[in-house]
Structure 1
Amino acid sequence: MKDIATSEDDSNLLVLIIDTNPFVWDQIAKADTPLSLDDALRQVLIFVNAHLALKYNNKVVVIASHGGHSKFLYPLPHQEGQLLHVSTSNSKRNANMYPHFQLVTDQIVEGLQDLLSDTDILKKENFTSSMTTGAFSMALCYINRIIKMDDLGHIKPRILILSVSPDAPQQYIPLMNCIFSAQKMGIPVDVCRVFEEETAFLQQAANITGGVYINVDNSQALLQYLMFAFLPERYARNFLNLPSQDLVDFRAACFCHKNIIDTGFVCSVCLSIFCSWTPVCSTCKTKFAFRPKLTGRTSAKGTPIPPASTPSTPS
C-alpha cells in the first residue's frame, strides 16, 4: 500500500458502502441470530453520526450496493457543496438533534426506501446479486475528484464496506481492478462481514490495501464492532492495535467459467486464469507450444501427493 503521511489535523472522509441486497437481508432476518435491515440501519446511522462528531471537518459519503445497480444515498449530487444549507422540509425538525445529523439520517433513510420499493422489479429482472464492484468504482471516482480539489492534501479518505452477500465470481476482474486502484491511491478498504461465510475477494481487498477485515459473529452487536474497529481515523490507527487477519483466502475466479478455483492454469503473457488447460489463451490469443504434464508424486507411504503449486503454461 502507498505510504501516506497522516496528521491529527486531517479531515477524514469516510465512504461507506452498504450492501442492501433485499434477498440476503430477508435471510438474515430469519437466521438464528436475526438482524433486520431496519435494525442494522439504526446502528449504522449511529456510527455515521459518531464519525461526524469526532471532528468538525470530518465528512461522510454513503453508497448503496443494490441488486443490479448502485446509488448514492448521501450526499445527493445536486446538494453537494451546500449540505448545511439544505432544508429538511420533508421531515419535522427535531429540536434535540443536531441539524446536520438529522439531514444525513433523513437522506439515507429516504434513499433506502426508494431502493427497496423496487424489489419486485429485481425479482423480475433476476438481479439477485449485489453490485459491490459498481459501488466500489463510484467510491473511488468520488474520492479521486475530492483529492484533486484538495490542494493542501488534508483530506484522508478510507472506504468501509458493509457486506452481506456472497462472493460474485463474475465480478472478480473489475473488483480486483478496484482493489489495486485503491492500493495505488493509498486508500485503506475496511470490510465488515455480517452474514454467513467469509468472502474471499473482500478479504483480499482489506489485506492488499492495509484495511481492517472483521466477520461479525453476533449480528446483534453490529454497532459495537463498528464503533471499536472501524471508527478510529487513519491517524489514530498508528497508535492502536486493530484486528488483523490470521488467514486470508487468496483464491481467484477463472476467466473462462467464472468459478472460484483452488488450482488453475495461468497465461504467462497476460496472467489470465483458467480452470483447465487450453492451447490458446482466450484473452490475449497467445498459442502455447505444448501441453503441460502434471506428474503425480508419492509420499514415503506410497500415497499420491497433489501438485504443490499452481501450474503455469509458458508463452
Structure 2
Amino acid sequence: MDAVDATAHYEVVTSEEAPSLLTIILDTNPRAWAALSSTLPLSRAIANILVFANSHLAFSSGNRVAVIASHSHRAEWLYPSPSSSQPQRTRPSGGAGGEDVDMTDAPAAAAAAATTDGATTKTSANKFPQFAEVETSLLKATRELIASTAEADLGETTTLISGALTLALAHINKTSLAFPSTRSGSATDTKGTRSKAAEKAGLDARILIISVSDSSPAQYIPTMNAVFAASHSGIAIDVLSLRGTATFLQQASFITRGTFLSAEDPQGLLTYLMFGFGATSSSEDASSLISPSTDVVDFRAACFCHRKVVDTGFVCSICLSIFCEVPEGAECLTCGTKLALGSYGAKPAVVPRVRRKKKRRIGINGETREETGSAAGTPLPA
C-alpha cells in the first residue's frame, strides 16, 4: 500500500492497563466487633478501608470498587447502593410525542440528595468526587445496617460469608460484560498476571474478605461452591483475618491462589491492607512482588450430616460427600448410594517375623569365641 498511495500506515496498539474491580467483603458481625471495640472500633476500621479503596481508585481512572457487608443472617450492599447500581429510566414530560425527559439520574442531583446524619452534604472542591461518593454511600449504608440489626442477631458468632461471596461473583460477572476484551496475548494464572477469564472479559477482578468471625461449618458447602466458581473464573480471593478462626477462608485463598494474612495486631489494619493487598493483579510490578502468606493451611472439612469440622471421616465414592460417622443403613444421605464398607474396623493381618537363632559363645583359656559346627578348635600356628 505504501508504494501505491505513498502514505505511511501504522498499527495502533493500546498499551494502557485493563480496568480492575476490587470487591471488598466486610464482616459486620456485631458480637465480633464488640470484642474488638477496645482495640479496633468499627468506625476506625471503615475509615481505614476507605483509604485503601481510594488508593485502588487512584491507580487508574478505570478502576472500580464495590463493598459488601457480610452480616449475621444476610449480606447487603454498602457500595454501590442497589438504587444507584442501575440507571433510572426516564420518561417523556411533554406528552407522548415530547422530546424532553426528566434528568433524574444526574450526578449533581444524586450528590445533593445524599445525606449524612440527616443533613444535606455538599460536594467539596478539595475532595475527588468519586472519593466523596464512596464515602457518603458507605457510611450511610453502614448506619442503616446497624440500625436495622435485630436483638437476635447479637448472639451469632458467625457471618453469612457464602451469601456475600455469591453477591460478589454475580457483580463481577455483570460488570465484566461492559468491558469487552481489546487485548491479545497468552493468559496465565491469577498471581501477578492476567487470567483466562480476565483476558476474555477485559477486566481484572479480585475479592478481598476482611474477617472477624469464625468459619461456620453449616456454610461449608455453599462457601466451597462459591470458592470453586471463583477459581474457575480466575478470580483471586484475598483474606485478612483480624479475629477468629477462618479455616474455610484459608482454604479459599489457597484454592484461588490469593493471599491470606492473619493480623497479629488489628490496630495496624491500614498497614496490612496497603502492604499486603495494595498491588493489583494487573499491575506491572505485581509479577515481581512476593505476596505474604501462611505456610500451613488447615484443610479440614465439615461433615454433611452434623456440620462438624472433622479430621477423619467417611467419603461417598459417588458424590464425595463427607460424613463423620457411618450413616444409618450405610446409605449416603446425599445421593442415596448404598455404601460398601468392606472389612472396615478389622485388625490388620500381622505376619510373624522369622526369629534368627543366636549363636552361643564359649570360652577357651579365658578367650571367648562363637560356637561353630566343628568339634575341634581352629588350629594355631606352632
* TM-score, length-scaled by structure 1: 0.86
Corresponding position of 1:203: 250
Corresponding position of 2:165: 136
Query: Using the alignment, how far apart are the partners of 2:49 and 2:347 within structure 1?
Result: 52
Corresponding position of 1:49: 54
Corresponding position of 1:62: 67
Query: Using the alignment, how far apart are the partners of 1:178 and 1:134 within structure 2?
Result: 9
Query: Using the alignment, how far apart are the partners of 1:194 and 1:88 within structure 2?
Result: 36
| Larger Rg belongs to | 2
Contact 2:204-2:282 at 8 Å conserved across structures: no
Query: Using the alignment, how far apart are the partners of 1:185 and 1:53 within structure 2?
Result: 26
One-letter code of the match for 2:315?
A: V
Query: Using the alignment, how far apart are the partners of 2:164 and 2:307 within structure 1?
Result: 21
Contact 1:212-1:243 at 8 Å conserved across structures: yes
One-letter code of the match for 2:64?
A: K
Map Cα deviations across residues 161-212 of structure 1 (whole Å, 9 max, x no partner). 011110100000000000000000000000010114x311000100000100
| 1:87 shift after superposition | 1.5
Contact 1:65-1:135 at 8 Å conserved across structures: yes
Query: Using the alignment, how far apart are the partners of 1:226 and 1:88 within structure 2?
Result: 32
One-letter code of the match for 2:49?
A: V
Q: For the aligned residues, what is the CA RMSD?
A: 2.1
1:87 aligns with 2:111: yes
Unaligned runs of 5+ in 2: 1-14, 88-104, 116-120, 182-200, 349-382
| 1:97 shift after superposition | 1.3
**Percent of residue pairs identical:** 40
Contact 2:205-2:235 at 8 Å conserved across structures: yes
Query: Using the alignment, how far apart are the partners of 2:112 and 2:138 within structure 1?
Result: 13
Q: Secondary structure at the match of 1:68?
A: coil
1:1-315 pair list within 5 angstroms: 9-30=17-38, 34-80=39-85, 85=107, 86-89=110-113, 90=115, 91-123=121-153, 128-152=157-181, 153-196=201-244, 198-236=245-283, 237-278=286-327, 279-294=330-345
| 1:84 shift after superposition | 8.5
Query: Using the alignment, how far apart are the partners of 1:292 and 1:174 within structure 2?
Result: 34
Unaligned runs of 5+ in 1: 1-6, 298-315
Query: Using the alignment, how far apart are the partners of 1:117 and 1:291 within structure 2?
Result: 57
Of the structure 1 ranges 82-91 and 9-18, higher mean CA displacement relative to structure 2 is found in 82-91
Query: Using the alignment, how far apart are the partners of 1:296 and 1:235 within structure 2?
Result: 56
Number of aligned residues:
287
Contact 1:68-1:128 at 8 Å conserved across structures: no
Name the structure where helix makes up a greater proportion of residues.
1
Query: Using the alignment, how far apart are the partners of 2:146 and 2:281 within structure 1?
Result: 33
Q: In structure 2, do the counterparts of structure 1 residues 81 and 56 end up closer, same or farther at CA, with 3 Å as the change threshold?
A: farther
* TM-score, length-scaled by structure 2: 0.71
Of the structure 1 ranges 274-283 and 7-16, higher mean CA displacement relative to structure 2 is found in 7-16
Contact 1:17-1:64 at 8 Å conserved across structures: yes
Q: Secondary structure at the match of 2:299?
A: coil
Query: Using the alignment, how far apart are the partners of 1:238 and 1:48 within structure 2?
Result: 22
Of the structure 1 ranges 238-247 and 63-72, higher mean CA displacement relative to structure 2 is found in 238-247
Name which structure has the greater RCO, CA cutoff 8 Å, separation 6+.
Answer: 1
| 1:77 shift after superposition | 2.6
Q: Secondary structure at the match of 1:159?
A: strand
